Amino acid sequence: MGAAILNGPNLITMLRIGAIPLFLILLTDGRYTEALLVFVLAGVTDSLDGALARFTNSRTTLGAYIDPLADKLLLVSSFLFLTFAGFIPRWLTIVVISRDVLIVVGFALLFVMTGQAMTVKPTLIGKACTFFQLLTVTLTLVSLHNPSWTFPLLWHATLMVTGSATVVSGWQYLSRGLLWLNQQGEEHSASAANDRPRSEGPRRRYSV
């Protein structure tokens, strides 16, 4: 059982989580080149563990939870640090974190209200949101590594696209959650109607 859980893809994901403190330490020390390298390697392992899990047919429930968790921890810590250091605008970090908080709190409320966990599959806009958030951090680290590689037009365009994709993705998850809640309510009502005792036959009507 333990060997099945701690398989290759899950170990790679755990290594990515373990690299987050190293990444933040390098940023704190102003070692931006090394921080960029760690961030790029983390992104590579993100693709590697997913591909390995599919190739070896070794997907696990643990992996389904810790893989997106690793991505979120890396992105949120990156946005927070780079914002406090003055490298990423505050409004974008507020949008990014607000979306994640909305999703987590929303799913928790749905579970409390229905007693069932909603199964969430990544959407195209959700994947695009993650991609542009990663691109924002990468461009920021590249400009810190070498200021001559800063491209203001590309930078501002990426910020706007990232913010827009994050807002649309958050709205999409919210809409899907409300739709799922409505479906659960309809199924509960139908089940309650089916459980009602049926009369043994039609009632006779008497006229005076």
Amino acid 103: pLDDT: 86
Taking 80 as the threshold, does the pLDDT of residue 85 lie above it? Answer: yes
pLDDT surpasses 70 at 161: yes
Identify the residue whose tokens are 């859980």.
Answer: 5
Mean pLDDT over each residue of the chain, to the nearest integer: 82
Q: How far apart are CA 57 and CA 55, in angstroms?
A: 6
How many domains does the structure of the chain reveal? 2
Per residue in 184-194, pLDDT (tens digit) is: 776 666 666 66
* Entry pTM: 0.80
CA atoms within 13 A on the CB side of 147: 1
- How many helices and strands in the chain, by DSSP H and E? 7, 0
Is 201 a member of any domain?
Answer: no
The pLDDT of residue 149: 87
Domain termination site, one of 69, 97, 126: 69
Report if residue 58 sits inside a domain.
yes
Would you state the structure tokens that stand for residue 140, as one six-digit string?
A: 């920021």
Going by pLDDT thresholds of 50, 70 and 90, the confidence category of residue 11 is confident
| Domain region containing 31 | 1-69
Provide the pLDDT for residue 52.
Answer: 67
Rounded to 5 degrees, what are φ and ψ at 5?
Answer: -75, -45
pLDDT at 3 over 50: no
Between residues 121 and 28, the one the model is more confident about? 28
